[in-house]
Amino acid sequence: MAMAVAFSSIQTFPSLFSNQTLRFQPLRRRLPLFLASSSSSSTTEFNISFGTATSPRPSKTLVPDASPPDPSSASLPIIPWIVRDENGNLTIQSSPPARFLQSMAETKTSSSNSKKKKKIDNSKSKEKNTPPTPVASTAPKYSKAARRFYNQNIKESQVQRLSKVLAAAGVASRRSSEELIFEGKVTVNGSVCTSPQTRVDISKDSIYVNGSRLSKKLPPKLYFALNKPKGYICSSGDESKSVISLFDELWKGWNKIHPRIPKPRLFTVGRLDVATTGLIIVTNDGEFAQTLAHPSSELSKEYIATVDGTVHRRHLIAISEGTEIEGIKCVPDSVELLPVQPDASRPRLRIVVHEGRNHEVRELVKNAGLQLYSLKRIRIGGFRLPSDLGLGKYVELKPADIRLLQGNSRKSA
């Protein structure tokens, strides 16, 4: 009976069910209230009215979200956004407004830029606090080759002794250049210079020798391995039988290949007597030649000595014991009897020395009681004479060959 009264009372408000937005489920939850109130009196009427504001307000409409529903987010609560539309009316929507998203993006961009700026400022401050790396102002105290490389490629000032500059420019040897300076045949910046120790810079100073101006450019450093023939002398003069005359072909096209660069003055590193053949180094680098030829380097040199007669054990023992040359006892590093070749009837000896004194190998063979027929040098240091290099021919050395020349000494062994 109470249920009937409740429904009869609800029927008095047809407008309540005319609104399709209301659902029956919330109404069922309120039924106990209706039942409780109807139990007290069967004639109770519900006077439900909605209060109205004193001033009219714009109606609120729900704007549906145009994005497709996400099944995974169906259980998540929807946060409404109350915004004002173009007409000034308040509306409710489920997504943030566009201007809010734009302002958030601008804020994020500005914050990231500020962080980058702070990182850059911090790095700059660290760089300012870091002390500068010291630059070496003096030549490194290493080997002569390292100091020479430093002076030629790194050192700004190319100030050198006048006699050394003249020799490097190909004017004459170091001693002959000093004689020219003493004789007053050299002028520096318009004044006669008589001191070989005068420091000059060929790129800045004006130098004249016998009235001819010295070129501002020095010739390049050249290194050759020559297979010296018999009958040629190791001289840098104008003799026709000088080993330097074997390089005449090199100078014919020099001016075309190297315009305005003077011809280098070549000379031999050490000497071979007129009757000895084989390997000899020819260059225009004075320091390199001095390092290679100086006895302190103790570079090993290998010779093939062809002798007349028969070689016995006592001969080999006599050679290995050494001999006195110019008051100094010279002992070879090794002595070996080579196998007999089919096309050669004379025995051959391989003799390795490091002193490099004048006629050393010849004196060793002579002191042993043997008669020397021919002598040929085939190795200096770690560089061996190419087997296909004919007599009187030369080949330009590569950096690896130069290292071989300097890298096989008796000290390192």
Q: Where are the alpha helices (DSSP H) in 41-173?
A: 98-129, 144-153, 162-168
Pairing of strands 277-283, 371-380: parallel
Tokens of 294: 């100086």
Q: 3-state DSSP call for residue 401?
A: helix
CB-based burial of residue 128 (10 Å sphere; 0-12 exposed, 13-18 middle, 19+ buried)?
A: exposed
Contact assessment for residue 228 and residue 270, using Cβ atoms and an 8 Å cutoff: no
Q: Which of 273, 308, 333, 401 is catalytic?
A: 273
Quote the CA–CA distance of 2 and 41 in Å, as a whole number.
10
Quickly tell me which residue has 């408000």 as its tokens.
Answer: 13
**Does the active-site annotation cover 388?**
no
DSSP string covering 296-308, please?
GG-B-EEEEEEEE
Strands (DSSP E) contained in 210-255 are: 212-213, 223-228
Strands (DSSP E) contained in 267-393 are: 267-269, 277-283, 301-308, 323-325, 328-330, 334-337, 348-353, 371-380, 383-384
Quote the CA–CA distance of 258 and 317 in Å, as a whole number.
54
Go through the chain and tell me how many residues it has.
413
Type of residue at 337? L
Quote the CA–CA distance of 378 and 305 in Å, as a whole number.
11
Catalytic residues: 273
